[in-house]
Chains A and B, each alone.
Chain A
């Protein structure tokens, strides 16, 4: 185990432990069997995550080059299963029920899209370091990859999981940028997205529209989504500089916060640990992301470069949207905070991504 591998693992585990403590604090006084085991489950997830991390960091990441299409179609298949079971059950469906847990394919899709685009924009040959994208026209640089991204995105938004759908589109644009796609194409895509926005608005479900509108003015729905935003802001704000202390966050203990062990875990944490604690937490995330980007810039293989920076970006986007949402600076879209939020799929996928990262770092010298 080299130093980078160890550093990343330690930081990730610290974040996970913080998350488990927050989940414990959030659930320990809720009544009911389910709540009392939730933090234990998160511990199991984290342990499994670490195992996945250690495993993947020992698998040559070039294997993922070969497996790209397998992974892609596997992810599509999973999404399709969710879609079908959603149709059958006539309602929202984000999970596949496995024996003892609910598996959430949209988490996996985020990582698979990064792998897919990293391969799409790079070359197999390790000798030719130049990105071929410079010679690409509009179709190959923009339209074709977009089609590949749009299919899973459609299924995700249809679930309906607007948050993950938006994330995937963000990842797509970020990867275009990283892959040196001509800026005019990216600008074209952005303009096109803005033009399509009014149409997309019409396709949203009522509650999704409401959430977006509520973000602009929490006052219009004081009992629903607006209430969540207000309570979350109070939780973060009332923590002050030093926080109220572990198990002492009143907002959280008295159940003012809905969804607090998943999407609003950051508010729970910062209420109890204050601004300083939260800043420290953000610093840890920042460290992970910087590691990813520096590994990317040190790697000469284009696939590894794109993959590493892509992983860094996925983390950045998720942390940004989730934390901003907790502070009332982004709409409530139902998105986990990586490593912190309760949920096995998210934890394991994040550890897997970090594992890949470490492996890229190991092999960069080989090429």
Chain B
């Protein structure tokens, strides 16, 4: 029964198809014949512009400028010859050259052929004026990326380049295609989905001569969304100027919100170089430089923190209840742990905790570490957010590492010795941190006990998103603990033997800690991490100099930066 019905349905289906055929091929024959005879549909793509990256106060760190592409619509042979000839005259290139370019750029009869890319506006106007004499010429405005401030904040911004295979396989489902320009590193990569523009285009009907008759379809191009950063351009520039090409980095952060105000690397690059095929050599130089110019050391560089780590050991000691601020140890310039002699850099004599911080006494902290044990240090380091990424919105952030006896047993197949504890107590051994983690740690003392989450994106497309990042963790430390360490950090500057006493001369009261992390076979890394003004901190600063010699050098740089900030009335 039902088979008969199905048969009937089949008849109707075929009648429907036949009707469709008659409709296209007989009733509307004329229209389609005309369309096909003239091959008169042309597609003119219209690129949208990529979203801008703006600094906190509104300067464009990554902008777009308009360049023009000169294109020619495919047309019939004689006409084409004439058009190419007149176009060659206007563009001031040889006839053979323009013929070669046309041939190389030809894709299909419906697509305009790009004759010349990135023409400046003066030339574009010249073509525009001659347009009536040249058939089928299209002047296509193409927004191109530009970085008005050159290498300023280059590591934060990242750069644009043609998509690579690895990224393509991950992003193809999101509409990315080969030859798309995508962000590499920094905000350009992390927020590519927002920044990315959507290209549109026109499909137009042209007449026999290739003149546009009417528009058949139009899809407006869409600009990408603008991203506003917490970076303050003036501060960023000032910091980069002070770094002056040295191998190192500086992070300045708001200790209450975690907003990054400046993040600079001494070794930098010009992101604009990646945009232009002409500067291929420069790109090669950037990529192959053995100093890793592309590396954002503040988030990707892993270094031993040296004495900076003592802040954490001190907190652990006070919180564990095994020590009080007045606990005193005697430093005679060294300590024998097991079979090894651990040196201090000076004979400090008898000191209490605050003095030990101020003078950065190693022996005091060897003894502290041995008293409270490695597991406590490990646990407190994790409370300060170490050994995992801070989740700042920049790609490929490193997490760092804090050793523990269990780890050593499991992965190194060795027992943990007291010597390991001693090493760990002064931030050497296997301890690895990023400069950003150190700034974050210091902000706990600046803001009296809150672990903030660093962030760098303030607004997307005008929408303030910084609120989403304000999920700082209230660390369960006693108020007195934080106050004691804080006093110690202040004494680092004010004490006559404090390791950062050169900062005492500044008009702003600064607190902080210096660090010299030894590297085998090379110059030591220099650290200074601190906050200012002391009473009501508004800035946390982390200065790091890779193989910079010592903490003193880093402190000198910090002094220079704070001095300049004072002069510029930023504090």
Binding site for B on A (CB under 8 A): 90-91, 174, 177-178, 180, 205-207, 218-223, 226-227, 230-231, 233-241, 250-251, 254-256, 270-271, 274-275, 278-279, 282, 285-286, 289-290, 293, 296-297, 305, 309, 312-313, 316, 319-320, 323-324, 327, 329
Could you give 8 example pairs across A and B, Cβ below 8 Å? A177-B2, A223-B219, A231-B41, A237-B32, A297-B4, A309-B3, A312-B10, A327-B20
Q: Which of B14, B26, B216 contacts A275 (CB 8 A)?
A: B26
Q: Chain B nearest CB: distance from A222 CB in Å? A: 3
| Given pairs A236-B32, A241-B26, 16 additional interface contacts (CB within 8 A) | A91-B172, A206-B174, A219-B218, A231-B41, A234-B32, A237-B29, A237-B31, A238-B35, A254-B109, A256-B41, A256-B108, A271-B36, A275-B22, A316-B10, A324-B20, A327-B20
Please give, as numbers and ranges, the residues of chain A lying within 8 Å of B108 by CB-CB distance.
Answer: 254-256
Please give, as numbers and ranges, the residues of chain B lying within 8 Å of A220 by CB-CB distance.
Answer: 217, 219
Q: Give the CA-CA distance A91 to B176 in the complex, in Å.
A: 13
Contact (A177, B216) CB under 8 Å given A233-B24, A241-B25: no
Closest to B36 in A: A238
Please give, as numbers and ranges, the residues of chain B lying within 8 Å of A316 by CB-CB distance.
Answer: 10, 13
Establish whether residues A178 and B37, one from each chain, have CB atoms under 8 Å apart when the complex forms: no
Establish whether residues A222 and B26, one from each chain, have CB atoms under 8 Å apart when the complex forms: no
Q: Chain B nearest CB: distance from A116 CB in Å? A: 19
Please give, as numbers and ranges, the residues of chain B lying within 8 Å of A91 by CB-CB distance.
Answer: 169, 172
Establish whether residues B14 and A286, one from each chain, have CB atoms under 8 Å apart when the complex forms: yes
Please give, as numbers and ranges, the residues of chain A lying within 8 Å of B202 by CB-CB distance.
Answer: 222
Please give, as numbers and ranges, the residues of chain B lying within 8 Å of A289 by CB-CB distance.
Answer: 10
Q: Which of A222, A250, A256, A290 contacts B218 (CB 8 A)?
A: A222
Please give, as numbers and ranges, the residues of chain B lying within 8 Å of A241 by CB-CB distance.
Answer: 25-26, 29
Q: Chain A nearest CB: distance from B199 CB in Å? A: 8
The 6 A-B pairs of least Cβ separation, nearest first, read: A237-B32, A222-B217, A222-B203, A238-B36, A275-B25, A237-B24
Q: Chain A nearest CB: distance from B171 CB in Å? A: 11
Contact (A177, B109) CB under 8 Å given A235-B36, A238-B29, A239-B25: no
B163 in the interface (beta carbon within 8 A): no
Q: Give the CA-CA distance A359 to B2 in the complex, in Å.
A: 22
B6 in the interface (beta carbon within 8 A): yes
Establish whether residues A234 and B35, one from each chain, have CB atoms under 8 Å apart when the complex forms: yes
Interface residues of B in 128-173 (CB under 8 A from A): 169-170, 172-173
Q: Which of A226, A256, A271, A275 contacts B110 (CB 8 A)?
A: A256
Q: Give the CA-CA distance A282 to B26 in the complex, in Å.
A: 17
Q: Chain A nearest CB: distance from B358 CB in Å? A: 56
Closest to B169 in A: A90
Establish whether residues B3 and A293, one from each chain, have CB atoms under 8 Å apart when the complex forms: yes
Q: Give the CA-CA distance A305 to B18 in the complex, in Å.
A: 28
Q: Chain A nearest CB: distance from B165 CB in Å? A: 10
Establish whether residues B217 and A309, one from each chain, have CB atoms under 8 Å apart when the complex forms: no
B324 in the interface (beta carbon within 8 A): no
Q: Give the CA-CA distance A319 to B20 in the complex, in Å.
A: 14
Please give, as numbers and ranges, the residues of chain B lying within 8 Å of A219 by CB-CB distance.
Answer: 216-218
Q: Give the CA-CA distance A293 to B20 in the complex, in Å.
A: 24
Q: Give the CA-CA distance A324 to B23 in the complex, in Å.
A: 12
Establish whether residues A255 and B109, one from each chain, have CB atoms under 8 Å apart when the complex forms: yes
Establish whether residues B25 and A236, one from each chain, have CB atoms under 8 Å apart when the complex forms: yes
Q: Give the CA-CA distance A275 to B7 in the complex, in Å.
A: 24
Establish whether residues B25 and A286, one from each chain, have CB atoms under 8 Å apart when the complex forms: no
Establish whether residues B43 and A206, one from each chain, have CB atoms under 8 Å apart when the complex forms: no
Q: Chain A nearest CB: distance from B97 CB in Å? A: 24
Q: Give the CA-CA distance A285 to B217 in the complex, in Å.
A: 35
